[in-house]
Structure 1
Amino acid sequence: MIAVELRKLVLRPRVWLSILLLCALPLVVAVVLAAADFPPPPGQGGAFLSAVLRNGSLYPAAALALVLPVFLPLAVAVLAGDGIAGEAATGTLRYLLVRPVGRTRLLIAKLVALCAFILLAVLLVVITSLVIGILLFGTGAEAVGQAGAVTSLSGVTLTPFELTLRLLGSIAYIVASMLGFGVIALFLSTLTDSGLGAALAALAVLITSSVLETLDAAGPIKPYLPTNFWLAWIDFFRDPIFWHSIEKGLLLQAGYVIVFFGAAWANFSTKDVTS
C-alpha cells in the first residue's frame, strides 16, 4: 500500500507543480538580488539574504527561510488535506477499503507519502537554490579564502563539509516541523469529504498559531503552538549550535504527530465510508 501511495505521489502533476512553485520563489528572489547587487538593509529581508551576495553557497539556507513561513506549509496542507477527504470525494475510498488493505495500513501509507513529499520538496528547494546561488553569487572564495566556506551567524567560518552537515540538520528539522503540521491536516482530512475544506482548516490553524505567537497575552501557550519552534533550524548555523530550541521543537512536533495521528486513526477507523 505504501508503494501505491508513493507511486500516486510521483505521478500527480499537481505535486510537481507545487514543488516547481516552491523552487521558483528562491529563483525570483535570487535574480532580483543579483540585478540589484546590494543586500537588504540589516534587519530587513529573509534570514541570510544579506550574506548571499558574498557567498552563494549559503543561498540554500536563505531559500529555506523564504519558503518555510507560508509556501511550504501551504503545499503540505493541500496534499495532506486531500489525503483521505480527496479519496472520499472521488468515491475511491470505499473501493480502496474493499480490498484487504485495512484502514490503519491506508492511513500509515498516507503518512509515509506525506513525509516523502515534504522531504522531496525541501531537498529540491535546497539543490536548486544551491545551483542558483553559486551561479549568481559565486562561492565566496575571495571573502573567506576557501571556495564554498561560509561565515556562521556567530562569525566563525564553516568549511564546506560543516556547511553540508548543518544543511542536512536543517532539512531534517524542517521535515519534522512540516510533518507535525501535516498530520494536523491529515486528521482534519478524516473529518470531511472535502480536501479543500481540510486544507483550509489546516491553514486556519497555521494562521491562528502565527497570530498568537505575536501576542504577549498568549505567553503561557506559546511553547505549545505548532509554529513556535519552526525557525529554530537557523540555530544550526550558529557556532556552537544552539540545541535548546531545536530539541524543544523536535519534541513538540513528535507530540503533534503522535496525538493527531492517533486522533486521525481513531476517527478514520470508525468512519462510515459506504454512504
Structure 2
Amino acid sequence: MSENGVHTDPAALDELTDAAEHTHSGVGADGAVEGYRARRTLRLGVELRRQLRRRRTQLVLGFVVLLPFILVVAFEIGESSPNRRSGGFVDLATASAPNFVVLALFVSGTFLLPTIVALFFGDTIASEASWSSLKYLLAMPVPRHRLLRQKAIASGLLSVVALVLLPLVALVAGLIFYGAGDAVSPTGDAIPFGQSLIAIGLSTVYVVIQLAWVAGLALLLSVLTDAPLGAVGGAVLAAILSQILDQITALGTLRNYLPTHYSYGWMDLIATDIDWTNMAAGTLSAVIYATVFTLLAARRFATKDITS
C-alpha cells in the first residue's frame, strides 16, 4: 500500500520502473523528451490548411466574393444614374468603379465585416473546447501561449484575406460594369482613378486595423466560454450596441470612447483635401482596445482549467 492509501500492484510498479529506465535515454537534461520542440507544435501552415478546409471558412469567403455581384444585380434591377455627380454614397455607387468599392465597404461595415472577424476569432478556442479536443492539444503537448498565438495568427490572416477580398472583387466588378472613372464624394470632390486606388488601399488598411478591437474581444470571449456561438455572438452584439450608443447625441464627447465611433473614418480619404484626424483617433482607439482584450485573453487562458 502506498503512502496515500492507494494499493499498488508490485508487478505493475516494476514494469513502470523498467519502462522509465528504457525511455530515460530519450529524455533530455531538462526532463523533456529528446526531439521535442515547442516551436514545432501546431505549425501555422497546418492550422491554416485545417481552417481553410472548414465549410465555415469556405462559405464566408464565397459570400464575400459574391456580395459585389449581388449589389450589381440590385442596381441593375433598380433605377440608377451612372452620370450622377451628387448625392450620398449609395446614389454615387454606379458613377465609377472606385465609387462602387466605396459603397461595398460602406454597406458591409456596419454588420458584415465585424461579423466575419468575430466569426474567425470567436471560434478559435471555444470550438476546440466544444469538440472536447482542447485538452488533447495541450497534452500533445502544445504550450498554452503557443496554442493561443497560433490560432490567433491563423484567424487574423483569414480575416485579412476576407477584408481585402471584398474591395478587390468589388473593384473588378465595378470596372466590368461601370468602368474606370473618378471617385466622386458626396461633397462633390472628384479624385482621379489612380489616386482613388491609393485611397481604396488605405481605406482597406484602416478597416483592418479598426476591426482589431472586434478580434481581441472575440478572442477573449472564446477563452471565457466553451460555446463558439456565444463568443461570436457576444462580439457582434458588442459592436451593434456600440453603434447604437454612438447614435445617441446626448452622450456628447463620451461617444468618442466607443470602439465604433471612428469606424467610417476611412471615408475622409475620398476627398481632395484629406483630414487625418478621425483615422488617427480611430487607429489609436482600436489598438488600445485590441491590446487590452488580447492581454486579458492570454492571461485568462494561461490560468484556465481545461476540462474539455
Give the unaligned 5+ runs of structure 2.
1-42
Give the secondary-structure state (helix, strand or coil) at the position aligned to 2:130.
helix
Give the C-alpha shift of residue 240 in structure 1: 1.9
Q: Does 1:113 align with 2:154?
A: yes
Describe the shift of the 1:206–1:39 C-alpha distance in structure 2 as closer, same or farther (beyond 3 A): farther
Give the C-alpha shift of residue 87 in structure 1: 0.7
Describe the shift of the 1:269–1:237 C-alpha distance in structure 2 as closer, same or farther (beyond 3 A): same
- Greater mean deviation of Cα atoms: 248-257 or 35-44: 35-44
Residues 1-275 of structure 1: pairs in structure 2 closer than 5 A: 1-39=43-81, 48-140=89-181, 149-152=182-185, 155-275=188-308
Structure with more of its chain in helix, by fraction = 1
Describe the shift of the 1:271–1:12 C-alpha distance in structure 2 as closer, same or farther (beyond 3 A): same
Give the C-alpha shift of residue 153 in structure 1: 5.1
The Cα RMSD (Å) is: 2.3
Equivalenced residue count is: 265
Give the C-alpha shift of residue 258 in structure 1: 0.8
- Is the 2:183–2:192 contact (alpha carbons within 8 Å) kept by the matching residues of 1? yes
In 1: Cα distance, 2:98 partner to 2:235 partner: 34
Give the C-alpha shift of residue 43 in structure 1: 9.8
TM-score, normalised to structure 2's length? 0.79
User: Which portions of structure 1, spanning 4 or more consecutive aligned residues, are displaced by more than 3 angstroms?
Assistant: 39-44, 151-157
Give the unaligned 5+ runs of structure 1.
141-148
Describe the shift of the 1:132–1:2 C-alpha distance in structure 2 as closer, same or farther (beyond 3 A): same
TM-score, normalised to structure 1's length? 0.88
- Greater mean deviation of Cα atoms: 184-193 or 123-132: 123-132
The amino acid of 2:261's aligned partner reads N
The amino acid of 1:35's aligned partner reads I
In 2: Cα distance, 1:56 partner to 1:185 partner: 33
In 2: Cα distance, 1:108 partner to 1:233 partner: 29
Identity of aligned residues (%): 32
